[in-house]
Structures are given as C-alpha cells and as structure tokens.
Amino acid sequence: MNLFENLKKNNIITNPGAKNRWEIIEEMAELAVKNKDIPIEDAESIKKALIEREKSMSTGIGNGIAIPHCSTSKVSNIVTVMALVPKGLNFEAIDNEPVKIVILLVVPKDKLSQHIKTLANIAKVMNNAELREKLLELKTADTILKTLKHYSL
C-alpha cells in the first residue's frame, strides 16, 4: 500500500502546534480520533503504544522524516496522519537532523506484512529530496495530496 492511497485530506496537519516529538505524536493521534479513524475509547492506549514505540527507538529515519507507528487490534484499517513542520522538531533521528515531515501510522495487528510494505513505501517515496522540499512549501491538504499522488506513481 502506498502513502497516497491511505492518506485522507482531513488527516494532514500543515501548521502543528507541537513543540517536540511527544506533542506531535499526541496532536496527530488526536486528529485521527477527531476524524473517527481511531475509536475514542481506544485513543489513550493507542497513544501510549505510539509513545512506547518511540521511546524504544526513534522513528526519525533521516532526511527530515519520522514515521511514528504501532500495531494494534483496535483498528481494522491502516490509519495514516501526516504533519508538516517546516521549522523542524528534534526526533533524535539517525542523522541527528530536525524532522520536518512526520507520518504517523497505526496498523491492525493482523496486517503485519502490509505494515512492513507501507513503511518501506513511505521510506522510498520520501527519499526524494525534491518531493520533501516541495511538500514543505505547500499550504493546503489538497495540494499535498496532489503532489504525493504525482510522486507515488
């Protein structure tokens, strides 16, 4: 599954209020709850799983990208939320650079191979420096989705 197929317009944050990686994970998870992608009664356990995963090892993969993720039996489809943070956040990324594009994934426990394929696809698509620069210049979810679709083909 590629990033574009799974990302909904209302799950894109172009002006997050978060000041650190913990706050951005919280903000992104809250948006997924608000958009009914994560059941409200499971919000806390999913946020805790995302934070525990992040504490075990940073999801900052380099090139200004982080992919906080977890698997849970509380969702039936992959939930994807994207946040663009032009000023950057410290994610303790492998290259020690600030993270400017955060892609949060919550994946059903029974879809492990899909989880791995989705992570690999995101890493591949986001390896494109031109795409990363372009995304950070965009201001609307529509233009972000259009750009992702163009680069995901």
Asked if 79 and 47 touch (Cβ cutoff 8 Å), the reply is no
> Any residues with CB less than 8 A from the CB of 116 and at least 6 apart, and which?
none
Element (H, E) at 38: none
* Dihedral angle computed from the Cα positions of residues 106, 112, 113 and 118, in that order, rounded to the nearest 10 degrees: 10
- Among residues 95, 102, 130, which one has the least CA distance to residue 28? 102
- The one catalytic residue in 21, 47, 69, 132 is 69
Asked if 32 and 79 touch (Cβ cutoff 8 Å), the reply is yes
Asked if 65 and 103 touch (Cβ cutoff 8 Å), the reply is yes
Please give the Cα distance from 68 to 102 (Å, whole number).
7
- Verify whether residue 150 is a known catalytic residue: no
Asked if 78 and 114 touch (Cβ cutoff 8 Å), the reply is yes
Catalytically active residues, by annotation: 69
